[in-house]
Structures are given as C-alpha cells and as structure tokens.
Chains A and B, each alone.
Chain A
Amino acid sequence: MSAVAVEGVWKFYGDYPALRDIRLEAEPGACLALIGRNGAGKTTLLRIIAGFSRPGRGQVRISGLEPRETETRRRIGFIGHGISVYDELSALENLTLFARLYGLADPARTAAEWLERTGLERVKNGLVREFSRGMRQRLAVARAFLHEPSVLLLDEPFTALDDRAIAVLQTLLRDALAAGKTIVMSTHQLREALELASHVALLTRGQVAFHGPRTPEMVADPGYVYARYGEG
C-alpha cells in the first residue's frame, strides 16, 4: 500500500482548474520532490494531501486512509509557508501545546527533548516573538516532527532557512528516511531537495509533466528536469 496516493485529483478556484487530474504515489520510505514554477499547483496539492483543503474531484489516501481521519492526522507532519507556532507563547509552551494536542504520553518531556535536538533548550522559556528568524524556523521544524509522523509534508522547507536550520532539517529528514518514513516536499531549492529525493514530480500548470525516480543526471544538473520535461 502506498504511503501517499493521489488519485485523479482536480481542484477548481471558481472555473479555473488549479490542479488537473493529478496522479502520484509515494511508497513508504520514499522522498518525493514536487518541483515546478510558481503557480504550478505545488502548494495547493500539498494542502490537499495534508487535508487542509478538499479536492474538487478525485481523492487522496494516506496509508489507505482519508487525510481528515484522526488516525491519519496523527501520522502527518506538516511544514507550510508559516512557522505555525504562537508568538505570544514560549518555545516550551508551544511544543507542549502541540504535544498535548497530539496526545503524546509525556508532553513536557517530549517538548524538552525536541528543544534540545533543535538547539533551542537555552531559550526554551523565551517568547517566540523575541526569537530570531532562524530560531523560529528551528522551532517550526520541532513542532512538525515532535509526534514522530510517518508521512512528512513539507512546503518549501528550505526557503529562507539559515545555515543552522538547514543543517538541522537535513539531518532530521535523513533520519526520517532511514527510519522508513515518507517525505513529500515542494521546493524551488533543487540542489538540497534532489540530494534527498528518491523520486521527482514536475508540475506544470496544474498537471504532472513528469513523475519518476530521481536519476544521476538530475543531481548533477538541477535544471535537467525542467529542460527535459518542463517548459524550459
């Protein structure tokens, strides 16, 4: 059974089809890089896979389940364009909050462990609004990973990250893949993404222009997929 299966998904904004008959699969342990120009539909597709938005037609299955089912949501970790943590709360309060919402056995201990893993234990009681951008991003990574999701959905995860946050995220993603978890990430940072990816899907104007395993040519030349299958 596929970890992520997108079956004939369409999404309309008014009459405009933002996604057209998208069919993708990611097996357990795979890392699928969703690439495409701005407006190609990457974020829309990821939001549908995450269950934030309903498709106009077609369906998404996460390990055979609907994305909005409670059990599915326990399995998904999502990093979107925003950091999805509260400025008015401290780092520890934020992570404890989400650990509680995910029903983890010891929320405070889990939060403390993730603050340590992301190098934020020194500022755990500081309010997020006082954090630097890099610290906020590392906290966002901790928030997405703390419930040990088996499917990671990442929307432009490397965009605007500082070096330390990129290193933290890459380490976590490599560990996740080694543990057999599935990653679907949209990105413009082809070099970082293709290093991790096992499969690549190119979206062009809401359609899948290419979907297949990552090849050595793609790693050697990140523009290769666009040149070969895209619109140049």
Chain B
Amino acid sequence: MGFFRQVFVVAGKDLRAELRTKEAINASFAFALVILLLFSFAFDPQSDLTKAISGGLLWIVFAFAGTLILNRSFARELPNDCLDALVAAPLSGAALFLGKCCANFVLVLAVELVSLPVFGIFYDVKWTQQFWELMLVVVLGTWGLTIIGTIFSALTVNIRLREVMLPMLTYPILVPALMGAMQLTTDLVAGTPIGPESVTWLKMLIGFDIVYTAISLALVDTVLVG
C-alpha cells in the first residue's frame, strides 16, 4: 500500500473514531466558546486596544482549544494497547504520524471555523474583510499547531501527566508560529491585506511548518519505538 494511502487510512480511522464519540471535539469547542466569552468580559469590544490584540486573543483560544484535541491523538491508542497493533503493522512511522496529523488538522480546523463567527460577534470584528488571506493564515497556523502537538502527543503518550506536559512542551516551541499567526490575523481582521511589511511573518509561518514537519517526520520512528 502506498504511503499516502496509509496516511489516508490512519486519518480516516481517527476521524471515524472521534466522530463516533465526539469526546475531544465537543470538549474543544465548548472550551473555545467559554474562553471567547470570558475574554469578551475582560476586554471592551469597542476599544482600539481590543482590536489591536484581537489576533492574539483568537490564537490563544485556538492554541488552548486545539491542545484538547491533540492530547487525545495518541492517548486514543492507549485503551486495549492499540498503538502496539499500529506499530506492528507494515506502515511507516511517518505515515502513521502524518495520518494522525491530518485527522487532528481537520478537527482543530473545524473548531476554529466554528469559533471565528463567534469571535466576530463577541468582539465586534469584521473578520471576513480579507477572508481568503485569513483562511491561508488559519490553515498555516493550524498546521504548525497540529504538527508540534501531534509529535509531542506521541512523545508524552505514556507519561502519567501527559495532559499537563503536552501544553508545557508545545507552547514554547510554537512561539514563532503563534507570533506570525497573531500578527497577520490582527492585520487581516482590521481589513489590512498582507503587504510588504507583513509578508515576512507569512514566510516565517510557512518556513516553520516546513521545518517542523520535516523534523517530526524524521524523528517519529525514534519516538514510537523506545
């Protein structure tokens, strides 16, 4: 079976299992809504300051809510020792990892896309002004979050305090990607398209995704087989 077919099979399995239980996606979406609501109490939606930090607020919500989904990624394999069966199967660690990344990406993106209109309402932000450019940033930022979160989900799967360890390991490494995504999102929801000043952030976001995808694919076999 080809590499991408293996990726597709693993991603399909994870999505099917998650959609049957809806454990992670429901928790993640509820968490995103609660944080958006609480932040809207803390910041005046009409003030310029709120507009200036809106991208940051949004990506903090995405990062926190996304972690709930990413935590479940390899933890889902623990009951019944399912990870053993996947590691025993003749698929590469890279295909297994990429399959899980794809499933996580779809789930995290779904939560984000549902959260965006809520964000627009609570913070009085016209987030659709640069819709396609914003979608590009959301996709790139989400892929970075997913790659880092999934590799650390694999690394921490057998640790007792993995729910605590995953965000502690993930967020520091995500800083460059989050900075880029926050900066670009703030500009885009304010109606400013990506221009010569902000394109550097976009390049950094793309570079981050490429570099960490390559590093994760190279390391995943070592992570999975102790």
Residues on A lying within 8 angstroms of B by beta carbon are 50-54, 68, 70-71, 73-74, 76, 78, 80-89, 93, 97-98, 100-103, 127, 143
Contacts and interface: CB of A to CB of B under 8 A. Distances in A.
A84 B89 CA distance: 12
Interface in B144-199: none
Contact of B17 (A50, A88, A102, A103): A88
Given A52-B225, A54-B226, A88-B21, A101 B82 contact: no
Contacts of A54: 225-226
15 contacts: A51-B87, A51-B225, A52-B88, A53-B225, A68-B225, A73-B90, A83-B80, A84-B85, A89-B13, A89-B16, A89-B20, A93-B16, A102-B89, A103-B1, A127-B20
A89 B17 contact: yes
Interface residues of B, number: 26
Majority secondary structure of chain B interface residues (helix, strand, loop or mixed): helix
Interface string B67-87: 000000000000111101111
B17 A86 contact: yes
A78 B86 CA distance: 11
Nearest to A127: B20
A12 B30 CA distance: 44
B60 interface: no
Nearest 7 CB-CB pairings of A with B: A82-B81, A84-B85, A103-B1, A73-B90, A88-B17, A101-B89, A82-B80
Majority secondary structure of chain A interface residues (helix, strand, loop or mixed): loop
Of B17, B80, B225, most A-chain CB atoms within 10 Å: B80
A52 B9 CA distance: 21
Given A53-B225, A89-B17, 14 more contacts: A50-B84, A52-B226, A54-B225, A54-B226, A71-B90, A83-B80, A84-B80, A84-B85, A86-B82, A88-B21, A93-B16, A100-B9, A101-B1, A103-B1
A154 B87 CA distance: 16
B26 interface: no
A54 B226 CA distance: 6
Contacts of B130: none
Contacts of A98: 85, 89
